[in-house]
Amino acid sequence: MDGHRDPLSSRAWRALVLGVPLAFLALFFLYPLAAIVERGLRGEGDPPLDVLTDPTTADVVWFTVWQALASTVLTIALALPAAYVLGRYRFRGRGLVGALVVVPFVLPTVVVALAFVAILPDGVERGWAPILVAHAFFNVAVVVRIVGTFWASLDPRVDEAAATLGARPLARFREITAPLLAPALAAAAAIVFLFSFTSFGVVLILGGPRFATLEAEIYNQAVRLFDLRAAAVLSIVQLACVVAAVWVATRLERRVVVTGQLRPESEVLRAPRTTRDKLVVGASLGGLALFLGLPLAVLVERSLAIGDGHGLHAYRALGRPTSVLLAAPWEAVLNSVVYAAAATAIALAVGGLAAFALATSRGRVLDSLILLPLGVSAVMLGLGFLIAFDTEPLDFRAASWLVPVAQALVAIPFVVRILVPTLRSIDPRQREAAALLGAPPARVRREIDLPIVSRGLAVAAAFAFAISLGEFGATVFLARPDRPTLPVAIFRFLGRPGEVNVAQAYALAVVLMVLTVVSVLLVERLRVRRGGWF
């Protein structure tokens, strides 16, 4: 926009917003992934085509794709009513609802899957159905938060005008709301799809031995059978599927961008006044609370169970150092917060720059590249880190700063997906009008862009923080054993027999739940207000 005045600084700005995210992804994602795949293909073993022509591979690919699609549809269906309520109404406890919904998203898969086994009646506790339900349980937050946040910035007056003109609710949703929401819906759907696509623990525990995703098969080949070549070939297959899915999603996201409809949240939300309003809010949130609350209640109950009764033994034990962790369990809270804060800073810096780059230019490659870390095998990436960063000057495979870097890799896509739809939809005419009235460019950004983006920025930060709190796959590989995060500590306690150990695992899961709610509420408070940071 201000490029006409100062082309040089504009070029430098472009180099920064594109260069930093690209360099980050090249170093910490593409390079280790390429290194491990190359090692796998170079090694001896069966010809790679054997894996591809194996009939079980086709089965695995088919199952991986359809369960991910079905999980995405189910998640959106379950989340949309709550997203609508959060995007349209102002009510007491709205912030708390937004924080609570994130809780399932951060919980370790093993703990949740075991809770599902406990709740579901015999006979239906295993198979494809519980897999889909569990995926929806984990990912509802993605849709509620990304779509809900965007919805809350959509000008309701167009819809109201159509209603005044006699358009029916369904027609209004199809003709007005759906096209406006499409970018955020596509972004959320892409993330849910990728999470379900690479699902591993949930599928193994709730699917039973008959079901496997590509991710599980890659793990099996690399770690159980030591066949790195087969694992590398399957990783390429996985990557191809993911690239295709991401390509479709980013196209959808770009296709329908209607500008000029965005308003700051404070001007959009209204209190539920009529009985109908109250019924909608109550039913949407009540239904979601039931769905998310039941498994969580099981975890709380398990943390209190001792002998035949209940008590706080497990919570008291959290203060005592244990050789299981080489530290006192409560210290895991501190470690989690420190790592998550660092990861959030990295994710906001890298992801924020990327979002600006994508909103103001085409940047197709970066757009797709940002999402890929969510869809690529964590096992292979972890092994890639081992061989990519093992010699000077890239000798830092044991460095503890890799923990927040790896967590940021997972958080960056969220930051970008939350910010981009909003940034793209800002009407350039609003900026032009302000400039015409004599506002300098910096002031235009502060007065026009920031109030609209600030909400998204706060949500992105909170989400990045929550993701880092819950990240397990990379953290367990990289974190020092005497500095475990909460999910790592939970996993270690769950790996041992004995009542006190299992109760401590569940107690730590409850601590993680509380920590998530508190930190999401706090981080969202740190939002940019009109005119600057508070």
* Residues numbered 499-518 forming contacts with other proteins, rule: CB under 8 A: 499-503
Measured from the Cβ of residue 77, the count of other Cβ atoms closer than 10 Å reads 11
Residue 81, token pair as written in the block: 């009513």
End-to-end CA distance of the chain: 27
* Residue 234 in the binding site for other proteins (CB under 8 A): no
Q: How far is the CB of 377 from other proteins (least distance, A)?
A: 13
* Residue 90 in the binding site for other proteins (CB under 8 A): no
The smaller minimum CB distance to other proteins, of residues 258 and 345, is found at 345
Q: How far is the CB of 497 from other proteins (least distance, A)?
A: 4
Rounded distance, CA 102 to CA 143, Å? 10
Beta strands in 33-99 (DSSP E): none
Q: How far is the CB of 8 from other proteins (least distance, A)?
A: 23
| Single residue of 438, 497, 532, 534 touching other proteins by CB under 8 A | 497
| Single residue of 90, 94, 278, 313 touching other proteins by CB under 8 A | 313
Rounded distance, CA 465 to CA 462, Å? 5
* Residue 334 in the binding site for other proteins (CB under 8 A): no
* Residue 19 in the binding site for other proteins (CB under 8 A): no
Q: How far is the CB of 99 from other proteins (least distance, A)?
A: 29
Rounded distance, CA 176 to CA 192, Å? 24
Q: Which of residues 245-274 bind other proteins (CB under 8 A)?
A: none
DSSP string for residues in 167-232: --HHHHIIIIIHHHHHHHHHHHHHHHHHHHHT--HHHHHHH-TT---HHHHHHIIIIIS--HHHHH
The smaller minimum CB distance to other proteins, of residues 352 and 484, is found at 484
Number of residues that bind other proteins (CB under 8 A): 72
Rounded to an integer, what is the distance from CA 103 to the centroid of its chain? 12
Q: How far is the CB of 513 from other proteins (least distance, A)?
A: 19
Q: How far is the CB of 297 from other proteins (least distance, A)?
A: 14
For residue 100, the one-letter residue type is: L
Q: How far is the CB of 170 from other proteins (least distance, A)?
A: 44
Q: How far is the CB of 452 from other proteins (least distance, A)?
A: 33
Q: Which stretch binds other proteins (CB under 8 A): 80-88, 200-208, 246-254, 519-527?
A: 200-208
* Residue 228 in the binding site for other proteins (CB under 8 A): yes
| Single residue of 5, 122, 123, 290 touching other proteins by CB under 8 A | 122
Determine if residue 307 is left, alpha or beta; phi over 0 gives left, psi from -120 to 50 gives alpha, anything else beta: left
Q: Which of residues 29-88 bind other proteins (CB under 8 A)?
A: 30-31, 34-35, 37-39, 41-42
* Residue 326 in the binding site for other proteins (CB under 8 A): yes
* Residue 496 in the binding site for other proteins (CB under 8 A): yes
Q: How far is the CB of 24 from other proteins (least distance, A)?
A: 8
The answer to whether the beta carbons of residues 393 and 48 sit under 8 Å apart is no
Q: Which stretch binds other proteins (CB under 8 A): 24-32, 81-89, 155-163, 414-422?
A: 24-32
The smaller minimum CB distance to other proteins, of residues 114 and 249, is found at 114
Interface map 341-380 toward other proteins (x if CB under 8 A): ----------------------------------------
Residues 6 or more apart whose CB falls under 8 angstroms from that of 174 comprise: none
Q: Helix/strand/coil (H, E, C) string of 340-386? A: HHHHHHHHHHHHHHHHHHHHHCCCHHHHHHHHHHHHCCHHHHHHHHH
* Residue 112 in the binding site for other proteins (CB under 8 A): no
Measured from the Cβ of residue 426, the count of other Cβ atoms closer than 10 Å reads 19
Q: Which stretch binds other proteins (CB under 8 A): 157-165, 203-211, 263-271, 407-415?
A: 203-211
DSSP string for residues in 503-526: HHHHHHHHHHHHHHHHHHHHHHHS
Residue 222, token pair as written in the block: 């690399």
Give 496's DSSP letter.
S
The smaller minimum CB distance to other proteins, of residues 158 and 305, is found at 305
Per DSSP, the three-state class of 262 is strand
* Residue 307 in the binding site for other proteins (CB under 8 A): yes
Q: How far is the CB of 72 from other proteins (least distance, A)?
A: 24
Residues 6 or more apart whose CB falls under 8 angstroms from that of 401 comprise: 342
The answer to whether the beta carbons of residues 271 and 90 sit under 8 Å apart is yes
Residue 199, token pair as written in the block: 């699902």
Strand duo 532-533 + 390-391: pairing: unpaired
* Residue 481 in the binding site for other proteins (CB under 8 A): yes
Q: Which of residues 378-437 bind other proteins (CB under 8 A)?
A: 383, 386-388, 390-399, 401
* Residue 328 in the binding site for other proteins (CB under 8 A): no
Residue 420, token pair as written in the block: 């981009």
The smaller minimum CB distance to other proteins, of residues 283 and 399, is found at 399
| Single residue of 204, 281, 458, 461 touching other proteins by CB under 8 A | 204
* Residue 495 in the binding site for other proteins (CB under 8 A): yes
Rounded to an integer, what is the distance from CA 385 to the centroid of its chain? 22
Rounded distance, CA 39 to CA 26, Å? 18
Rounded distance, CA 81 to CA 285, Å? 8
Q: How far is the CB of 303 from other proteins (least distance, A)?
A: 10
Q: Which of residues 142-171 bind other proteins (CB under 8 A)?
A: none
Residue written as token pair 């699609």: 69
Q: Which stretch binds other proteins (CB under 8 A): 3-11, 96-104, 350-358, 477-485?
A: 477-485
* Residue 127 in the binding site for other proteins (CB under 8 A): no
The smaller minimum CB distance to other proteins, of residues 150 and 477, is found at 477
Residues 6 or more apart whose CB falls under 8 angstroms from that of 451 comprise: 264, 528, 529, 530
The smaller minimum CB distance to other proteins, of residues 180 and 206, is found at 206
